[in-house]
Amino acid sequence: MKAKTFDRKFDSGDKIVDQLDLSKARRVGTDAKRVNVDFPAWMVDSLDREARRLGVTRQSLIKLWLAEKLGKPVAAGVR
């Protein structure tokens, strides 16, 4: 299907999801980028205690707190 036809169907409210290959779909801006951060031992211990209390990993806790501080929503299932 040509782009003009696709756009016309979309603009008119026709169902277009059948024309998409959703197996290749991805969310923009969610590519992971590895960073290394050194924390003092007491901070790691505190992070681990809070992560255990919440039943999440240390990494998930750090991501959650950073996202809250930056005002960004955290996607479900983000590791």
Tell me the domain boundaries of the chain.
37-79
| pLDDT tens profile 2-54 | 889 989 988 999 888 888 888 888 888 778 889 999 999 999 999 999 999 99
Q: What six digits make up the tokens of 24?
A: 């290749």
The 8-class DSSP code of residue 23 comes to: G
The 8-class DSSP code of residue 71 comes to: T
- pTM of full prediction above 0.85: no
